[in-house]
Chain A
Amino acid sequence: MTFNSLPFLIFLPIIVITYYLLSPKWRWIMLLAASYLFYMWWNPAYIILILVSTLISFYSSQAIERQTSKKGKKKYLYLCLIINLGILFTFKYYGLFSQAFTSIADIFGVKAQLPFLNLLLPVGISFYTFQTLSYTLDVYFGKQKAETHLGYFALFVTFFPQLVAGPIERYDRLSPQLKSPHHPSYENFSNGLRLILFGLFIKMVIADNLAPYVEEIYSQPSAYNTYHLLAGLGFYSFQIYSDFYGYSTIALGSALLLGVNLMDNFKTPYLSANIREFWRRWHISLSTWFRDYVYIPLGGNRVKWSRWALNIFIVYTLSGLWHGANWTFLIWGTIFGLMFIIERFCYERFGITSTQKWGIRRIFGVIITFTIVTLAWIFFRSSSLSNALTMFEALWNNTALADSWRPDPFIMFWLSLFILLDILLFNNRFDKWCSKKPLWLRWTIYTLLIFGITAFSGIDNQPFIYFQF
């Protein structure tokens, strides 16, 4: 089930009403069943993977807690990591691994091929795997007590608003909220509905309408001139942002209707003045996950410069690989790692830095950062390295004369409105920002968003981009 579908718009109110009608002690059962139903709507068979992941993480964490020796704890941690990451590897990375294996064997003159596995990538596998891993690691490091109630733990893993595309929550943040006996609150309802409305708007009106234009540009870059290609690349920057931001916002709104506050996953990332800031504002739940479970255990920044650079490089390369089993994602991740290192080098050697205060310097930083991010998206969007290089070549050559790429004026209007709202929302969340506005302005915005969603949403089939991760 996707958020921008009629079944979900029927499912959500039923769940919310039932949730508040039930006694708090039974709510977890209803939410768990609803979450499984939500997931099984897509492919019932793959619920088994979630169940396996849930059971392994639950029991291995209990075992870790029971162990007194570090060795004993490690044994169960490794067991949990091997099974969870093993499932992730098999379903997501086996294809890439097999391809790389064949290529390497070929270099040594050996004709070797691993067996072909025709597996469909389960929706949201990276999200729920990372969420369960964070819990096990927290238990291992003693930051978190192991959960004793399997039902609540299963709900933590599968809570439907954030199950398939995040935000990747931490146990200490989400679980107490799931156990808390929430009462219906007008504030939660109004804020939740505002977020859902805004999320649907940016997914259905912005992302889904930009998608066909981006597809056109990427399907044959050499047919378009540099100006069209640059516009198309800009469109993709906004498509992926509004697609993922839209999904996260609906997730936040849906959870809020149930009294649960999920973490913000985006904070106007395209207004970042440098790459470091960009990653503090983009997919925050993943960035903080890598910070807490990879970067800091590797030594963080309390190490020598060269070791720090290596840590950064590892974190961003892994972050790239997290997105997909393709060399393009690997390069996309390393680009950000390199940019991060270059930024720090410039700061330490030449004192070049950006500022939080709005002014010419910050605006310049925002433009530079947006340009780098937009160009890096080429690797993210391209299905192969050669396609990405074709795009760069076409950008450089500017020989094509095609002028058929003309975005609809209405789409440009809605995109402009979205950009304006994004600027106004700087360091703010839509629901909270809206609640401070006068009644007439609030309702004008609601009316505009409703009209956009109902009359101007994209009609082509555009699944959420991050579902594939």
Chain B
Amino acid sequence: MNSLATKILPRLFVLAIIAFLLNWIYSVAFYPSDLKKIDLIDSLQKVIPRSDVIYFGESSNFSFVFEDDDQRRISDFISDYYPGLQFGTVNKGALHAGIYLKLLKQIPTEAPVNTIILSMNLRSFSADWIYSKLESLLQRDMVLISDGPPLWNRFRLGLKAYDNKTQKQRSMQVKNALKKDLLFLEPPCDFPNAVAWIENINNSPTSPWIEDSLAKSLAISFIINYGFRIDTVNNPRIRDFDKIIEYARQRGWKVVLNILPENTQQASLLIGPCLRKLMISNAKLLTKRYESQGAIVVNNLELVDSSHYIDKKWPTEHYDEYGRKMVARQIALAMRNIYPAHFSDVFMKSDFTCDFEAPSPFFVTLGRDSTCSHSGKFAEKLDTNNAFGARFVRHYFEVKTLNPRKITASGWFTGIYRPREVKLIISIENDKKQPKLWTATVSKDIIEYGKWDSLQVNANIPENFGDNDVIRIYFWYTGKNKVWIDDVNILLQTENLNAASDTILLIKN
């Protein structure tokens, strides 16, 4: 036995030295590139050095419909309200508080971050999300940033040494949890748990679902996703959010919790008032719990109307542009207390300028170019590939607080063009099929190339304009050469224009 020990111990010592050296080589040469391969960590590392505020969210942040005029994320819309602050976004589908916590611990003390916004998805407290099949992948992504030497963490990744369960195991966990979680509901919904509730829908002879299997499966999905009462002792999300609040306190960060809107209207429609009441009660519990811990909790649970949910066949927090903008507005308003000096109410903004020197959240500019400019260094180049410039879109709900009645759009342009090839257009679309257009074009006969000319157009907003009706303004170049546009300005005014001057042509040399 002694001779065995004398042979083994020196070799173990050599192995320890090798492990130390390999860890060093891995940390220096391979670890950074391995981190880059994990999109969540990569995006966090990119935003850390330049962000005052970081928004952490799941798919609600980035889901959109193609019909959306502005397909940006909720976090981008919030940043519009704070032009002086730098916002960073970290998002991925199925993200939850457990992952937020691990990511937050990656933010170094020297980082400029002082506020974190966390989406608080009610569904993420449900068993269906806690034991989701996506959880293994999320946990896998977190292994590399766990405590311990990088090489050990990488080895763990190879061994799949994390919460790595099969889909079947996860389904079993969900089933067990649905049975175990008690609901404490009053009649007529006094089912002990979600399983009994679902069985009632499935088996009741008087069930209205018997004829409509789609509605029935949607109703069951709603119960699986929202039919739980948050257990503040055992629910892992509660533990994680508690830890986050505590950790943020230690780091001196402000925490904004965004309780996302859920389709309570559809829940009521499908199942009756019981489920909605349960959802409201859970959201209230969260609000109370975390407000008492010092967080700003924005309860948006019933903020968005059912019509603004993208997915109709299953419950999600995916909203169209209106929904995302409304959520963003609530968060932005709640943040006024943290950054009163930086707040600029986008809904009260009446003057929009685009000089192309930096990206503007209000204009879509695809041809930013430094060949020539009216002011500064940049203008936008329009040609056959990019015929539309400085596109501005505003829905009425975003401006109605101002009660604007008149729009004035103006801008400068130069380049090679013929009469009527450069247009500045205001399109008022309260019926998207037949928009009403106001157009300013260059109609003069003699054009002096190389000079900057300007166009201006005014339009009236109709009296019957609705929330989702659109004001769309853009330059349009129909020629085959190139023109540049610069210093575009849009002004929303409350006074009415003379009806006769709806279409205005202005040329200034």
Contact = CB atoms under 8 A, between A and B. Distances in A.
Interface stretch (B82-90, B159-167, B327-335): B159-167
Contacts of A441: none
Interface in A2-23: 4-6, 9
Contacts of A456: 158
Contact of B151 (A5, A189, A446, A455): A455
A453 B152 CA distance: 11
Interface in A405-457: 443, 446-447, 450-451, 453-457
Contacts of B4: 184, 186, 189
A455 B159 contact: no
B400 interface: no
**Considering the complex of A and B, which 4 residue pairs feature the smallest CB-CB distances, nearest first?**
A457-B158, A6-B161, A454-B155, A455-B26
A204 B161 CA distance: 13
A469 B26 CA distance: 37
A447 B22 contact: yes
B158 A204 contact: yes
Contact of B158 (A186, A208, A446): A208
A454 B160 contact: no
B265 interface: no
A458 interface: yes
B151 A447 contact: no
A461 interface: yes
A204 B155 CA distance: 10
Given A184-B1, A447-B22, A461-B136, A454 B161 contact: no
Interface string B1-39: 101100110000010001100100110001000000000
Quick one: which of A4, A451, A458 has the most chain B CB within 10 A? Answer: A451
Contacts of B161: 5-6
B154 interface: yes
B480 interface: no
A434 B398 CA distance: 74
Contacts of B159: 4-6, 9, 204, 457
A110 interface: no
Contacts of A454: 22, 26, 151-152, 154-155, 158
5 contacts: A9-B159, A186-B8, A446-B18, A455-B151, A457-B154
Nearest to A184: B4
B14 A443 contact: yes
B156 interface: yes
Given A189-B8, A450-B18, A5 B160 contact: yes
B336 to A, nearest CB: 44
A451 B26 CA distance: 9
Nearest to B166: A461
Contacts of A447: 18, 22
A459 interface: yes
Interface string B139-163: 0100000000001101111111100
A454 B30 CA distance: 12
Quick one: which of B14, B152, B159 has the most chain A CB within 10 A? Answer: B159
Interface residues of B, number: 25
B140 A459 contact: yes
Nearest to B31: A455
A5 B14 CA distance: 24
A252 B421 CA distance: 80
Contacts of A9: 159
Contacts of B158: 4, 204, 208, 453-454, 456-459
Quick one: which of B22, B151, B158 has the most chain A CB within 10 A? Answer: B158
A201 to B, nearest CB: 11
Contacts of A204: 158-159
B160 A453 contact: no
Contacts of A458: 158
Main secondary structure of the interface of B (DSSP, over half): helix
A451 B22 contact: yes
Contacts of B7: 186
A456 B151 CA distance: 10
Interface of B: 1, 3-4, 7-8, 14, 18-19, 22, 25-26, 30, 136, 140, 151-152, 154-161, 164
A447 B155 CA distance: 14
Contacts of B152: 454
Quick one: which of A184, A189, A453, A455 has the most chain B CB within 10 A? Answer: A455
Contacts of A186: 3-4, 7-8
Given A6-B159, A447-B18, 17 more contacts: A5-B159, A9-B159, A184-B1, A186-B3, A186-B4, A204-B158, A443-B14, A451-B22, A453-B158, A454-B151, A454-B155, A455-B154, A455-B155, A456-B158, A457-B155, A457-B159, A461-B136
Nearest to B6: A186
A6 B156 contact: yes
A362 B3 CA distance: 47
B157 A457 contact: yes
A4 B159 CA distance: 6
Contacts of A455: 22, 26, 30, 151, 154-155
A440 to B, nearest CB: 12
Nearest to A5: B159
A177 B1 CA distance: 21
Interface in A141-174: none
Contacts of A208: 158
A184 B4 CA distance: 8
Quick one: which of B3, B26, B160 has the most chain A CB within 10 A? Answer: B160
Contacts of A446: 18
A454 B136 CA distance: 20
B18 A461 contact: no
A454 B4 CA distance: 27
A189 B3 CA distance: 13
Interface in A181-226: 184, 186, 189, 204, 208
Contacts of B160: 4-5, 459, 461
A450 B164 contact: no
A40 to B, nearest CB: 15
Quick one: which of A9, A184, A450 has the most chain B CB within 10 A? Answer: A450
Nearest to B168: A120
Contacts of A457: 154-155, 157-159
A4 B140 CA distance: 16
A95 B10 CA distance: 56
Contacts of B26: 451, 454-455
Contacts of B19: 450
A461 B8 contact: no
B26 to A, nearest CB: 5
B18 to A, nearest CB: 5
Nearest to B157: A459
A323 B70 CA distance: 55
Contacts of B164: 461
A198 B164 CA distance: 25
B22 to A, nearest CB: 5
A443 B164 CA distance: 33
Contacts of B1: 184
A453 B155 contact: yes
Nearest to B14: A443
B140 to A, nearest CB: 7
A208 B160 CA distance: 11
Contacts of B22: 447, 450-451, 454-455
A456 B157 CA distance: 10
A363 B168 CA distance: 47
B130 to A, nearest CB: 20
A453 B15 CA distance: 14
A41 B18 CA distance: 33
A446 B14 CA distance: 11
A284 B175 CA distance: 44
Nearest to B160: A461
Contacts of B14: 443
Contacts of B25: 451
B481 to A, nearest CB: 35
Quick one: which of A5, A208, A446, A454 has the most chain B CB within 10 A? Answer: A454
A6 to B, nearest CB: 4
B4 to A, nearest CB: 6
